[in-house]
Amino acid sequence: MIQKIFIPTLGRVDNQKTYDGLPDKWKEKASLVVQMQEVDQYDKSKYNLIVLPEELGGENGRCARSMGFIIDTLRYEFKYAIFDDDVSFVYTNKPESKVKPSNRPLEDDEYDYLFESLIPSWMDEGYVHIGLESTINISRDRDYQDNFRISQAVFYDGSNLKVDKIDWWRTEFSADFDCNLQLLRAGFKNRVSCRYRISTSPTQAAGGCSLNRTVERHNRVMRQLKENHKEFVSLYEKENLMEKGDSIKKLGAKIAWKKAYKSSQVGNISDFLVSNENNLDKS
């Protein structure tokens, strides 16, 4: 079972979309990860709060630092989830079913199935990081994909996550992409649900990363992502829909997720072959 849910949040004291959408049972397991300057604005009788150290907050506070703090500093050794604070959870019907609407909000018992049965069962199969596909992608007939994009809703098996193999802190934004690629390249496969998915807010919706993310900073992070994962990332310019309906141009990334994981297996196979060769009777 998913034992804890962490929701890093900034600038959205009165707009906790993710938390508010959870059934009461799962709200009890959820904690908002907040910055020092906002602590007093929260109703502590309503929310469980985890407060970032002061040096990780303030004007220099980044969503990625919340992620690093949860995973690398707290180091929980159980199954947990990290959700953005502006997502909603939906069930997506298979296109072949012809059922409309394609996406519908989850029922309470579906949250139970997802958090108590489905995600933990995949972790038991060896998947230490698991995601839910975004509804910005077209719906698929398959129930899941392996070694694919993870963003905004990530589940970790803390008991099997090799925390020290990954640099959880190095990006200002897009930490989900960077850490996912690091994990795949280190040989940790992922699985992404195509039935249980997330609906997300438009780029630069008020609060969150938009408080710090300018186009220049975003583009710098995309170039850093390319530098860190050269053969798996290609950059292009794209139009991004904004909250008020207008758009801006900025860099996007095309990422070869499956190729990243496959690259981790080459060394393993070579090591296996060398090991077998060394163990041969050469007499």
DSSP string, 111-131: HHIIIIIIHHHHHHTT-SEEE
Look at residue 278 and tell me whether its pLDDT is greater than 50. no
Condensed to tens digits (0 to 9), the pLDDT of residues 81-105 reads 999 999 999 999 999 988 888 899 9
Q: Name the average pLDDT for the chain.
A: 88
Angle between helices 215-228 and 175-185 (to 10 degrees): 0
pLDDT at 236 over 60: yes
So what's the pLDDT on residue 98? 87
Q: Judge whether residue 50 has pLDDT over 60.
A: yes
Average the pLDDT over 41-47 and give the result: 95
Beta strands, E only, the chain: 4-8, 30-34, 49-51, 79-83, 87-92, 103-105, 129-134, 144-146, 153-157, 190-200, 233-241, 247-255
pLDDT band at residue 210 using 50, 70 and 90 as cut-offs: low
Q: Give the per-residue pLDDT at 272.
A: 39
Q: Please report which confidence band the pLDDT of residue 209 belongs to, taking 50, 70 and 90 as the band edges.
A: low
Number of helices (H), then strands (E), belonging to the chain: the values are 8, 12
Torsion sign, CA atoms 33, 39, 42, 48 = positive
What is the average per-residue pLDDT within 187-213? Answer: 76
As given in the structure block, the two tokens for residue 57 are 């907050």
The answer to whether 261 touches 185, Cβ cutoff 8 Å, is yes
Pick from 59-63, 154-158, 240-244, 263-267 the range whose average pLDDT is largest.
Answer: 154-158
Q: How confident is the model at residue 229 (pLDDT cuts 50, 70, 90)?
A: very high
Could you read off the pLDDT of 105-123 as tens digits, one per residue?
999 999 999 999 999 999 9
Query: Does the structure show a pLDDT above 60 at 283?
Result: no
CA distances from 166 to 185, 188, 248 (A): 10, 11, 32
Q: What is the DSSP-derived secondary structure letter of residue 32? A: E
Please give the average per-residue pLDDT across 1-14, as a whole number: 95
In the prediction, which pLDDT does 62 show? 58
Q: What is the largest CA-CA distance in the chain?
A: 76
**For the chain, what percent of residues have pLDDT higher than 70?**
84
Question: What pLDDT, on the 0 to 100 scale, is given for residue 282?
Answer: 38
pLDDT at residue 280 is higher than 90: no
Name the pLDDT band for 244 (thresholds 50, 70, 90). Answer: low
Question: Is the model's pLDDT at 149 over the cut of 80?
Answer: yes
- Given a cut of 70, is residue 156 above it in pLDDT? yes
Produce one character per residue of 156-177: b if its CB has 16 or more CB atoms within 10 Å, e if not. bbbeebeeeebebbebbbbbbb
Residue 51 CA to residue 35 CA, distance in Å, equals: 6
3-state SS of 147-181 is CCCCCCEEEEECCCCCHHHCCCCCCCCCHHHHHHH
The mean per-residue pLDDT over the stretch 9-14 comes to: 92
* 234 DSSP β-pair partners: 254
Q: How far is CA 212 from CA 90, 141, 209, in A?
A: 29, 38, 6
Rounded to two decimals, the pTM is 0.87
- Residue 160 and residue 148: Cα distance in Å, rounded? 20
Phi, psi of 184 (to 5 degrees): -60, -45
Residue pair 92/195 in contact (Cβ under 8 Å)? The answer is: yes
